[in-house]
């Protein structure tokens, strides 16, 4: 099986998207953008052994590789349309590739994304870069930089589950009663695309949570030139996580655990007063934007010293 057969067998699927004028098989893809919409483009790389353990089932690797990109689009309020896949493989293992493609297209179908091109090469380590392009109403993209003092801070879903799931997957934590729930939060991240669409015009800033709530919220605050008062008692922790760990571990994972792919966003006070969910996803108010910079944590009504740098490559 050479690279052309590999692409034909696993990745070249018919597209129902009339705006894909030319898809896989030529020198490039030709796409027709809608009039009056901006394009939003994101790219994320997954490296085997770095972003996911080698034991992760191939279908989950495929699903996850797309989902983490969709999460970036969600954070900007964009509707996903088209993707490309740059896949460097250790070996062309038909069983792995078949499962990988199945997981990838499962996510693609769920979110209505069309694979329009890519490149397949051999490497000593499996590395995949997916780029997804979406659409958004002109000038309406959510950014990290719009938070203003007085705004409230929210997060979708729950935080910390994925990091707990990864620990179980890697054998660093015992697999208890809720292992499947927690592991699936790592292996099948729930990209909050529908919620992100609902936030357009309502949220003042947004970011998706890949490196950990604390670290990512710091980035949002820095981009907006503001500070944050973060109420640790309000962090949404799932029952599964709460009942799987002891002591402050749940709080620690909720603050510093990565890979949740929830949305953290800000909005003017009152904007979300009545709402307990957005597009079916629960939201929780976890703090407020303040003048200044950095994150001030509050626990049981008092300041709480916390420092974590999240995950950074090369550091």
Given the complex with a copy of itself, which of 31 and 241 has the nearer CB atom?
31
CA dihedral 210, 105, 40, 217 (to 10 degrees): -10
Enter the DSSP assignment of 78: P
By CB under 8 A, which span of 71-79, 175-183, 238-246, 271-279 interacts with a copy of itself?
A: 71-79
Is residue 119 involved in binding a copy of itself (CB under 8 A)? yes
Nearer to a copy of itself, 90 or 299 (CB): 90
DSSP code per residue over 174-223: ---TTHHHHHHHHHS----HHHHHHHTTT-SEEEE-SS-HHHHHHHHHHH
- The reply on whether position 312 binds a copy of itself by CB under 8 A is yes
**Residue in 131, 156, 224, 266 binding a copy of itself, rule: CB under 8 A:** 131
**Which residue bears the tokens 């090369």?**
314
Pairwise CA distance, residues 67 & 83, whole Å: 12
CA-based nearest residue to 84, from 2, 24, 148, 173: 24
The binder of a copy of itself chosen from 12, 15, 41, 275 (CB under 8 A): 41
Distances 85 to 56, 121, 130, 299 between C-alpha atoms, Å: 19, 11, 5, 44
Least distance between a copy of itself and beta carbon 249 (Å): 26
Among 132, 143, 138, 140, CA closest to 38: 138
Q: Label residue 265 exposed, middle or buried (CB < 10 Å: 0-12, 13-18, 19+).
A: buried
Stretch that binds a copy of itself, among 85-93, 107-115, 169-177, 288-296 (CB under 8 A): 85-93
Q: Is 124 in the site for a copy of itself (CB under 8 A)?
A: yes
Cβ 298 to a copy of itself shortest distance, Å = 27
> Interface residues for a copy of itself in 91-110 (CB under 8 A)?
92
89 binds a copy of itself (CB under 8 A): yes
121 part of the interface to a copy of itself, by CB under 8 A: yes
* 279 contributes a contact to a copy of itself by CB under 8 A: no
Task: State which of positions 215-234 bind a copy of itself (CB under 8 A).
Answer: 223
Give the number of residues written for the chain: 315
Other CB atoms within 10 A of residue 310 CB: 18
- CA atoms of 277 and 281, how far apart (whole Å): 5
Contact call for residue 117 and a copy of itself (CB under 8 A): yes
CB of 310 to a copy of itself, least distance (A): 10
**Residue 139 touching a copy of itself (CB under 8 A):** yes
Return the DSSP state at 172: S
**Using rule CB under 8 A, residue 40 touches a copy of itself:** yes
Could you say which of 17, 39, 53, 268 contacts a copy of itself (CB under 8 A)? 39
- Phi (first) and psi of residue 62, to 5 degrees: -65, -45
Judged by CB, which is closer to a copy of itself: 98, or 145? 145
Pairing state between β 152-156 and 205-208:
unpaired
Binding positions for a copy of itself, rule: CB under 8 A: 1-4, 6, 21-22, 25-33, 35, 38-45, 47, 50-51, 72-73, 75-76, 78, 82, 84, 86, 88-89, 92, 116-125, 127, 129, 131, 133, 136, 138-139, 141, 143-145, 206-208, 223, 312-315
């Amino acid at each position: 099986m050479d690279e052309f057969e590999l692409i034909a067998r696993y990745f070249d699927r018919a597209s129902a998207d009339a705006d894909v004028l030319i898809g896989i098989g030529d020198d490039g893809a030709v796409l027709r953008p809608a009039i009056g919409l901006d394009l939003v483009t994101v790219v994320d790389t997954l490296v085997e052994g770095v972003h996911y353990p080698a034991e992760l089932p191939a279908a989950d690797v495929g699903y996850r590789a797309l989902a983490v990109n969709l999460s970036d689009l969600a954070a900007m309020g964009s509707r996903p349309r088209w993707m490309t896949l740059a896949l460097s493989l250790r070996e062309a293992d038909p069983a792995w590739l078949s499962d990988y493609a199945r997981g990838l297209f499962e996510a693609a179908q769920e979110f209505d994304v069309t694979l329009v091109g890519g490149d397949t090469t051999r490497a000593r380590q499996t590395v995949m870069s997916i780029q997804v392009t979406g659409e958004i109403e002109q000038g309406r993209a959510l950014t990290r930089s719009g938070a203003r003092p007085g705004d409230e801070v929210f997060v979708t879903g729950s935080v910390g589950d994925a990091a707990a799931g990864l620990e179980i997957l890697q054998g660093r934590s015992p697999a208890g009663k809720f292992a499947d729930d927690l592991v699936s939060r790592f292996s099948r991240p729930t990209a909050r695309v529908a919620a992100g669409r609902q936030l357009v015009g309502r949220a003042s800033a947004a970011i998706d949570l890949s490196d950990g709530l604390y670290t990512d919220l710091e980035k949002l605050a820095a981009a907006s030139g503001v500070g944050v008062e973060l109420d640790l008692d309000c962090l949404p922790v799932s029952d599964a996580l709460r009942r799987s760990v002891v002591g402050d571990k749940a709080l620690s994972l909720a603050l510093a655990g990565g890979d949740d792919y929830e949305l953290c966003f800000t909005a003017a006070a009152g904007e979300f007063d009545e709402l307990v969910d957005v597009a079916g996803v629960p939201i929780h108010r976890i703090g407020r934007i303040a003048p200044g910079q950095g994150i001030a944590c509050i626990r049981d009504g008092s300041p709480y010293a916390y420092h974590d740098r999240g995950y950074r490559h090369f550091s």
